Amino acid sequence: TELMAYAAALPKAELHLHIEGSLEPELMFKLAQRNKIELPYKSVEEIRSAYQFSNLQDFLDIYYQGMSVLQTEEDFFDLTMAYLNRVRADNVRHVEIFFDPQGHTARGVPFGTAIGGILTAFSLAKIQFGMTTKLIMCFLRHLPEEDAFDTLKQAEPWLDQISGVGLDSSEVGHPPSKFERVFARAKELGLKLVAHAGEEGPPEYVYEALDQLTIDRLDHGNRSLEDQALIERLVREEMTLTVCPLSNLKLCVVDDLTSHPIKRMLDLGLRATINSDDPSYFGGYMNENFKGIIDALDLSKDDVRTLCENSFRGSFLSDGEKRAQL
């Protein structure tokens, strides 16, 4: 459609992307062979057909297993380069990427191996495509806060190349308040703060992320819509929400894209953005997420432009860098 062509051509920033979730089955297979790792799958087709989830935990079990093929700095470089090269075609000009260091250090892969490969790809993307990048280190919320403190300690040599910390993995039963102290420490270190909240967890978790973690940006946030006072607060505080339509569909946060709340969020005045979350697992990169909502919802040209503008507004670029993109 004409609206989709308009969306595809607009410059965008991606603010909610787990780099380990961009691992395509083809690369997973290649890295398994390169590193002599046994996968429980015999073919790329078998991997793809295993990607059937009815909730976040089903997905996470497969996601953590998939990342076991990532062993060397070169693996992390290849993974990151493949993602950056792919979204360049979607007119993504700036990315703020999540990585899960504990998903690697727990398997004996050093923190420096993972971050080294990612940062080398960032440098090359800047030189080769003029793409700007930032890195956000996520804590796994199903693990103790003490482990998050250890991870923050391991990050010390790279702090000037890490923009912020986030919170991901199994949400229900692991509220933001569990990580209040480590987020306070990250803030003292000058890091930006983001957290997944309100994907499967209740509005109360979004309040905790705001009040106890003092987040700068809210990842997902869908269930905020259940609480009118919370909606009003998010609007008033101009909080950016990193919404992920195809992820919401695959993890059954919504029944189908025609009932996706993104249009309602915009109409309420929330600063929503479009993101792919884990594109290899959820069936699409940035523009495929736009296609999904454009086909399913009655979005206007203004809505589409607002979504793209919100992505730069809500980014951690400087005001000058934002002005250059808007």
Collapsing DSSP to helix, strand or coil, 240 comes out as: strand
As a whole number of angstroms, the distance between CA 139 and CA 181 comes to 13
CB atoms within 10 A of CB 144: 12
- List the one residue out of 273, 218, 282 whose CA is nearest residue 250: 282
Catalytic site includes residue 199: yes
Shortest Cβ distance from residue 141 to ligand HPA (Å)? 8
Residue 14 binds ligand HPA (CB under 6 A): no
One of 20, 24, 171, 199 is an active-site residue; which one? 199
In the numeric block, the tokens 């069936």 are attached to 283
114 and 97 in contact (C-beta within 8 Å)? no
Phi, psi of 13, deg, nearest 5 = -115, 145
Please pick, from the candidates 24, 73, 78, 199, the single residue that binds ligand HPA as defined by CB under 6 A: 199
Residue 18 binds ligand HPA (CB under 6 A): yes
Cβ distance to ligand HPA smaller for residue 246 or 304: 246
Residue 102 binds ligand HPA (CB under 6 A): no
Partners of 167 in beta bridges? 139
Options 4-12, 50-58, 272-280, 284-292: segment touching Zn ion (CB under 5 A): 272-280
As a whole number of angstroms, the distance between CA 93 and CA 66 comes to 28
Residue 17 binds ligand HPA (CB under 6 A): no
Shortest Cβ distance from residue 207 to Zn ion (Å)? 20
- List the one residue out of 199, 262, 181, 264 whose CA is nearest residue 18: 199
Shortest Cβ distance from residue 240 to ligand HPA (Å)? 16
Residue 100 binds Zn ion (CB under 5 A): no
**Strand pairing report for 240-243 and 271-274:** parallel
Shortest-Cβ-distance residue relative to ligand HPA: 168
Q: Which residues bind ligand HPA (CB under 6 A)?
A: 18, 21, 56, 63, 168-169, 196, 199, 247, 277-278
User: Binding site for Zn(2+): what residues are annotated?
Assistant: 16, 18, 196, 277
Q: Which residues bind Zn ion (CB under 5 A)?
A: 277
